[in-house]
């Protein structure tokens, strides 16, 4: 049988973002008979190719998440290489990241509504639980840990979806990644105590990071606004006020859910992201809140009226 050749090509539309490792572009995948599919292309800087550790991180992300197919995780379609440049073809999740989402609220001098914030955090927890429990084809648990759950890695789509992205420093038991006992990776402001101390991480580290994100969503305050490990270790010694003391709109019951997630001792946190997700959903139901992707989509449209143009709406 004649081997089928890959006939697809891509057309770059615009640059979405530039970071330390490379850039992300909005593109069209072009096929036969005027086929078009909007995708995102993530590249790695050519200057970093010589760094085998960095390259392995980039390639590891693609391999790691290739089979993570979940509505709360940005999907990876393809890993490629062209003239020494590596790239990943990814799902395009159109919408602001959570960092931009919170900045817009600060600009408008308003707080994120409690029900909207709780729904967003519950969806992130849902995606994390799926990744944490993912198994390979032999049924063996991969033991994936994201290790960089932070506002810039969470996307709120214009359709009201919530998606976790950038597993570039994720750890899986059966993959070669930088030894976390020797290399600190991630954003200091969202690291767990065990992560910054290079003690090794498991899924409870992601729960701690998600708790920090949740705290910021509900209060507008970053608990550990630091730039290095020593500053974080010092900051970890200080008590953290309950969220409802900073934002009276946050009920004490919800405040307690967040504080359990950011317990310093991993054994005192939720045993799984699923448990945290369910606590948040029970809170929403018990409080009489109606929550759905459609509810969030309508809110995002009000918050980002320019989204209408991006969606092709009149």
What would the pLDDT profile of 193-246 be if each residue is shown by its tens digit?
998 888 888 999 999 999 999 999 999 999 999 998 899 999 999 999 999 999
Residue 114, CA distances (Å) to 55, 92, 108, 269, 293 in order: 40, 28, 16, 22, 15
Q: Would residue 79 count as lying in a domain?
A: yes
Sign of CA dihedral 168, 174, 176, 178: positive
Give me the torsion for CA of 84, 89, 95, 101, rounded to 10°: -50
Instruction: Give the residue among 68, 65, 62, 26 at the shortest CA–CA distance from 44.
Output: 62
68 and 169, same domain (yes or no): no
Tokens of 259: 């504080």
Q: Containing domain of residue 34, as a range?
A: 9-91
Of 67, 91, 115, which marks where a domain is finished? Answer: 91
Pair 58, 107 in one domain: no
CA distance linking residue 131 with residue 73, whole number of Å: 9
pLDDT band at 9 (very low <50, low <70, confident <90, very high): confident
- What is the number of domains present in the chain? 2
Same structural domain for residues 78 and 132?
no
* pTM of the entire predicted model: 0.88
- Look at residue 1 and tell me if it is in a domain: no
Task: Render pLDDT for 148-186 as a digit per residue (tens, 0 to 9).
Answer: 999 999 999 999 999 998 876 666 655 555 555 555 566
89 touches 29 (CB < 8 A): yes
Token couple for 178: 């930088």
Containing 14, the helix (H) or strand (E) segment is strand 9-18
Same domain, 156 and 71: no
Is-contact 190 201, C-beta < 8 A?
no
Residue 148 is among the residues annotated as catalytic for this protein: yes
- 110 and 219 housed in the same domain: yes
How far is C-alpha 48 from the geometric centre of its chain's CA atoms?
23
Domain boundary among 34, 66, 91: 91
Same structural domain for residues 75 and 128?
Answer: no
For residues 240 and 233, the answer to whether their CB atoms sit within 8 Å is no
Residue (of 114, 117, 146, 125) closest to 277 by Cα position: 125
Q: How does strand 85-91 pair with strand 76-82?
A: antiparallel
Same domain, 27 and 67: yes
Q: Do the domain assignments include residue 314?
A: no
Summarize pLDDT for 13-50 with one digit per residue, the tens.
888 888 767 788 999 988 887 888 899 988 877 776 66
Q: Which of 67, 115, 136, 148 is catalytic?
A: 148
Nearest CA to 198 among 211, 214, 185, 215? Answer: 185
CATH of residue 19? 3.30.200.20
- Among 58, 91, 124, identify where a domain stops: 91
Same structural domain, 179 and 210: yes
Two tokens at 16? 């979405």
């Amino acid at each position: 049988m004649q081997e089928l050749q890959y006939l697809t090509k891509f057309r770059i539309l615009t640059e979405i973002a530039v970071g330390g490792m490379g850039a992300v572009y909005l593109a069209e995948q072009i096929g036969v008979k005027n086929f078009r599919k909007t995708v995102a292309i993530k590249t790695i800087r050519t200057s970093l190719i010589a760094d085998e550790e960095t390259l392995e991180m980039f390639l590891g992300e693609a391999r790691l998440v290739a089979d993570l197919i979940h509505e709360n995780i940005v999907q990876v379609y393809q890993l490629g290489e062209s003239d020494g440049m590596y790239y990943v073809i990814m799902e395009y999740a159109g919408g602001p990241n959570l960092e931009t989402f919170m900045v817009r609220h600060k600009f408008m001098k308003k707080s994120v509504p409690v029900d909207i914030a709780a729904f967003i955090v519950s969806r992130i927890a849902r995606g994390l639980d799926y990744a944490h429990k993912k198994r390979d084809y032999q049924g063996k648990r991969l033991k994936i840990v994201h290790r960089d759950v932070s506002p810039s890695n969470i996307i709120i789509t214009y359709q009201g979806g919530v998606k976790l992205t950038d597993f570039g420093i994720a750890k899986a038991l059966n993959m070669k990644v930088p030894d976390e006992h020797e290399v600190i990776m991630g954003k200091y402001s969202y690291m767990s105590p065990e992560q910054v101390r290079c003690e090794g991480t498991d899924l409870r580290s992601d729960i701690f990071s998600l708790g920090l994100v949740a705290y910021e969503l509900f209060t507008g305050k970053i608990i550990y606004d630091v730039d290095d490990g020593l500053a974080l270790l010092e900051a970890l010694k200080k008590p953290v006020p309950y969220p409802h003391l900073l934002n009276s709109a946050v009920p004490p019951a919800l405040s307690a859910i967040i504080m359990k997630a950011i317990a310093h001792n991993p054994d005192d946190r939720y045993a799984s992201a699923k448990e945290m997700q369910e606590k948040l959903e029970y809170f929403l139901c018990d409080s009489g809140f109606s929550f759905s992707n459609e509810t969030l989509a309508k809110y995002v449209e009000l918050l980002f009226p320019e989204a209408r143009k991006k969606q092709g709406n009149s």
